[in-house]
Chain A
Amino acid sequence: MTRETTVNLLITLLLLGLPLVAAGMGEPFYVTLATRVVVLALAAVGLNLALGLGGLLSFGHAAFFGLGGYVAGILATHAFNAEPLFAGIPGTTSMPLIWLAAVVVAGLVALPIGAISLRTTGVYFIMITLAFAQMIYYFAISWPAYGGEDGLSIYVRNAFPGINTAQPLPYFLICFAVLMAALLLFRLVEGSRFGSALQAARQNGVRLAAVGIPPFQIRLVAFTLSAMITGLAGALYADLNRFVGPSMLSWHMSGELMVLIILGGKGRLFGPVAGAMIFVCLEYVLGGITERWQFFLGLILLGIVLFARGGLLGLLSGKPRHV
């Protein structure tokens, strides 16, 4: 067992164990906090696929996160009001169906955005993904049908067959299971032929093309897959807060997702999980001490970017094997 595997195992146990203890002690708040960690980690696992493995610095993943959230909100609202969505299709409150819809919508939107953005590289790519996300953000704000600037409330948390999702602990366990599945998928992708091609595209696209694999297609598939995972996280996040609003689509959210990855360790399996744990803890602890927590969060982030490269996993388990 390598040191990184041990650290990963410890993180998993910590993340699963603490909410169980908190629930046992009758502290549902901490279970909800842990659910927030899990859902943000899931969103960042999605981004990590594009950013860590593929080297695609997407500054617009909030778009997919928010879209997932809006899919959950819109479907639940239509089901709640018993209005058909369009062409007689009803809304739904079933989580598996909502997840499927969120993943499909995120993928369908990511495909054209990726196809245009991936024609560019470097700073252009960062700014174009940002601009597309802003486009969707402004659309959500100016489109009044689903709350516009005020967002959309989900009155009753959506249902999962056989599980009472209204309780914090069962909902945490659902999210945790989804996160584990996503991490497994990440590991499988990383080790697959596709994953090797993707990492080769990050290291040297020209050489990859020279051996007969077009980098553009590889990157587009990775970008889309990454958006789909982040979209799924968005649907879970909307259900966690029972609310979805334009703030989920804002560029601050995109920045936060990148921050999670950097805090934990870029391109590493558990990087986003470790990052989400640190970020939510910092937010909670600093928020408890001072109203100006963003100021100190900024200072800490700045310190980490400038002086502690490699994130928490870099600190705990040394250099990654192939980077």
Chain B
Amino acid sequence: MFTALLIEQLLNGLQLGVMLFLMAAGLTLIFGVMGLINLAHGSLYMIGAFACAAVAAATGSFWLGLVASLAAAAGVGALIEVAVIRRLYDRDHLDQVLATFALILILSEGARWLFGSFPLYLDIPKQLQGAVPLPGGGQYQLYRLAIIAVGIAVAIGLYLLISRTRLGMRIRAGESDREMIAALGVDISTLYTVVFALGAALAGLAGALVGALQSVQVGMGEPVLILAFVVIVIGGIGSIKGALVGAVIVGVVDTMGRFLLPSLLALTMPAAQATTIGAALASMLIYVVMALILAFRPSGLFATRS
């Protein structure tokens, strides 16, 4: 029974990690190519979830909702890039932080204006309802397995996009020398808009997928945003490989910490006390891991720039 529980929790950790990867990949791509910290990335996640929930409620189809979430997040992302973000590339990090902080206020309040303060609910699509038996007894939700599969597919897709296509070649060139690529005749501002919209679409996809597991509400993006920051700091800012490894580390450490710490502490102290202390410590665990990693590798595991 314990093995089944352990496998279940490991899969939960992997699912969290995969979802964080979708967020972190966009963040790290935007930082790597444009040198921009985007705090509003969590709002794009929220927009994806709201678009999916609203369209799914109107049409009855989760899949149409998923398409809508990609379109809405990419669309809003492109709009923000053209209207605001474009002016921030040559500013210092402080201005970027503040401008994107202002965007969060605008987008959160805007979403509350449009959809009201009550959370929306999104059902898991029929095809993915049900559970799969696990080795060692127990069952696992099919939908969460599907999320893991989507995450792996996106990771492979991103790898192919960046290493094999013309767009990917331009993105890599933009990362290493933006003036040279502009001098060679590549329309750099369109490239930036495309990269930003791509990152936004990934965040929107993550929001829509998770929306079916939790409730869809204003502010849902913020905890995820901060976890995604931890992920890219651990992985090395600008590195997609780092984002993948960091996301899996954070997802698994967080989930396993919450699962194992209370029972480990229960060996040395009364059960009630162990539960509270264990829960409090588990909520801090990933930050401790981050501090440890940074103490030895100050620019992350797979740093691309010094």
Contact = CB atoms under 8 A, between A and B. Distances in A.
Nearest to B237: A123
B219 to A, nearest CB: 10
A292 B113 CA distance: 8
Interface string A98-112: 000000000000000
Contacts of A134: 226, 287
Size category, B interface: 35 or more
A126 B98 contact: no
B119 interface: no
Nearest to B282: A142
Interface stretch (A28-36, A172-180, A254-262): A254-262
B130 interface: no
Instruction: Name the interface size band of chain A.
Output: 35 or more
**Which of B102, B230, B294 has the most chain A CB atoms inside 10 A of its CB?**
B102
A292 B109 contact: yes
Contacts of A120: 294, 298-299
Contact of A116 (B31, B229, B230, B295): B295
B105 A294 contact: yes
Nearest to B39: A255
A122 B94 CA distance: 10
B168 to A, nearest CB: 23
A294 B103 CA distance: 10
Interface in B271-306: 276, 279-280, 283-284, 287-288, 290-291, 294-295, 298-300
Nearest to A134: B226
Contacts of A141: 283
Contact of B230 (A119, A131, A255, A306): A131
A150 B113 CA distance: 27
Contacts of A294: 105, 108-109
B87 A124 contact: no
A86 interface: no
Interface of B: 31, 37, 84, 87-88, 93-95, 97-99, 101-106, 108-110, 112-113, 222, 226, 229-230, 232-233, 237, 276, 279-280, 283-284, 287-288, 290-291, 294-295, 298-300
13 contacts: A119-B298, A120-B294, A123-B237, A126-B37, A135-B287, A138-B283, A142-B280, A143-B280, A259-B98, A292-B113, A298-B106, A301-B98, A302-B99
Given A57-B94, A116-B291, 6 more contacts: A57-B93, A116-B295, A127-B37, A138-B284, A258-B94, A298-B102
Interface of A: 51, 57, 59, 116, 119-120, 122-124, 126-128, 130-132, 134-135, 138-139, 141-144, 251, 255, 258-259, 262, 266, 292, 294-295, 297-299, 301-302, 305-306, 309
By Cβ-Cβ distance, the 7 closest A-B pairs, closest first, are: A298-B105, A298-B106, A295-B109, A135-B287, A301-B102, A138-B283, A302-B102
